[in-house]
Structure 1
Amino acid sequence: MPSLTPRLLIFDLDGTLIDSRIDLCNSINATLLHFGKPQLPDPVIASYIGDGASMLVRRALGDPEGDIHDEEYVTEALTFFLSYYRIHKLDFTYVYPGVIDSLEAIRAAHPDTLMAVLTNKPVNPSRDICDHFGLTRFFFQNYGGNSFHTKKPDPHGLLTLIAEASTIAGDPITPAQTIMIGDSDVDILTARNCGATSIGCTFGLAPHTLAAAQPNYLAHSPTDWPRILKT
């Protein structure tokens, strides 16, 4: 880790702070059943997670590249999925062991380091989940996949958080002083696209994507975060 203590930590949500796999898979299969489509194995659905709700639904419908031209059909499926997930998002979802202890350790060791969430999950369920599990107290902001006109790995959301953190801190925070923590290549590429450091979480939903993305550091458990940060 660079000798300069990071001034800003940005966390992904699904596969990084929480394990939401079962609720997302159940919600997709409920959507497929509703629209007369065959249900899919959980590992297949889990491999579709990471690029936002719309792409998750499109991939489950058999449209991996987002080329379905019947946008009304896709919109109906997405609407059903979001409505179902809104109700069932906390059925089986849990915070990974060690997350809260690690966030508390980081805050105790680096009280001036700001933390936020940047996820491709829609912002309202992201905030609701963080509220439910008592995670919101750690973060000055929580942005989702529909908070901006683009999603990760576009760096717009990360750059927005850097600007907001700079305002809170009272002086500029640079990408070089920022770390993005996530479980997939999407998060690693987001960091790289704006010049931030990355930590890849191998315990998440998409560890198979990390090798090609080459994060700066690997965390095999949330308890590795303080160690990597030299807390």
Structure 2
Amino acid sequence: MLHIANPIPADSIRLIVFDLDGTLIDSRKDLAQSINAMLTQMQRQPLPEEIIATYIGDGAGMLVRRALGDPEEEHLVEEGLKRFLDYYREHKLDHTYVYAGVFSSLEALKTMPDGSARAMAVLTNKPIGPSLAICEALKLSPYFFQIYGGNSFGTKKPDPEGLNALIREAGVSPEETVMVGDSDVDVLTARRAGAWIIGCRFGLSSHTLESIPSDCLVDTAAEWATAFNSTSAHR
């Protein structure tokens, strides 16, 4: 069910920035299996996929740290991160897929109502290497003028550095920008940059969306385009 709190001025939105995991793709199983492979290698008990899913959203380092129980020994996190990434690089596409409705919405949103092109990009806290590889393999890359990962800048979301960079590169204003994501991290990023935010209740971290209001909430990726049409009608 589409829920609109603050109608987005769709006619003036010139940049849409998407989160990756839990927004464009369902990567839960591959991330969980990679975490459990790391835990097994470090002689630790595997965790249920449902638990690991709640750790996703703040980058690979935090995912590993949470899975290890937030150890005080930093070398354990470093070892775990290396083991996790080594495994994930080989298995990142075993089960990961693009959510239903994503491609149709991207097609609908890539053009402004006046027929001009609308810029679209990806800003994720996932490391840039696997992010680029996944977008390329799943045929998402052609839709985006830029893809930035969690190690593309000195900071990660919810710091707005990455979103601010995309806004500058696209030559638009924050008011002409929408962030689309499945977590409170994405909401905070948009708010701190002065952009609009669409929250995805179907994603991996959607339980966190309850803590900070979004301008619009959707239950499927197919509703992204509907949200824009609806918000135009609400103006």
- Partner of 2:121: helix, strand, or coil? strand
- 2:95 is the counterpart of 1:92: yes
Tell me, in whole angstroms, the C-alpha distance in 2 between the residues paired with 1:180 and 1:53. Answer: 21
Equivalence for 1:170: none
Post-superposition CA distance 1:2-36 (Å, at most 9, x none): 26420100000000000000000000000000001
Equivalence for 1:169: none
Equivalence for 2:66: 59
Alpha-carbon shift at residue 211 of structure 1 (Å): 1.4
Equivalence for 1:149: 154
Equivalence for 1:132: 137
- 2:88 is the counterpart of 1:81: no
Equivalence for 2:28: 21
Equivalence for 2:229: 230
Indicate the RMSD between aligned Cα atoms, in angstroms: 1.2
- Partner of 2:199: helix, strand, or coil? strand
Q: Percent identity?
A: 56
Tell me, in whole angstroms, the C-alpha distance in 2 between the residues paired with 1:108 and 1:100. Answer: 14
- 2:52 is the counterpart of 1:45: yes
Letter in 2 for 1:23: D
Tell me, in whole angstroms, the C-alpha distance in 2 between the residues paired with 1:3 and 1:140. Answer: 20
TM score, norm. by length of structure 2: 0.91
- 2:38 is the counterpart of 1:31: yes
Equivalence for 2:118: 113
Alpha-carbon shift at residue 206 of structure 1 (Å): 1.2
Alpha-carbon shift at residue 186 of structure 1 (Å): 0.4
Q: Could you list the runs of 5+ residues in structure 2 that have no partner in the other structure?
A: 1-7, 231-235
Equivalence for 2:233: none
- 2:160 is the counterpart of 1:165: no
TM score, norm. by length of structure 1: 0.93
- Partner of 2:197: helix, strand, or coil? strand
Letter in 2 for 1:19: D
Equivalence for 1:9: 16
- Partner of 1:199: helix, strand, or coil? strand
Alpha-carbon shift at residue 72 of structure 1 (Å): 2.1
Tell me, in whole angstroms, the C-alpha distance in 2 between the residues paired with 1:220 and 1:209. Answer: 14
Q: CA separation of 1:3/1:58 partners in 2, compared to 1, >3 Å: closer, same or farther? A: closer
Alpha-carbon shift at residue 108 of structure 1 (Å): 4.1
Equivalence for 2:127: 122
After TM superposition, what 4+ stretches of structure 1 lie above 3 angstroms from structure 2?
108-111
Tell me, in whole angstroms, the C-alpha distance in 1 between the residues paired with 2:14 and 2:109. Answer: 11
- Partner of 1:161: helix, strand, or coil? helix
Tell me, in whole angstroms, the C-alpha distance in 1 between the residues paired with 2:40 and 2:105. Answer: 39
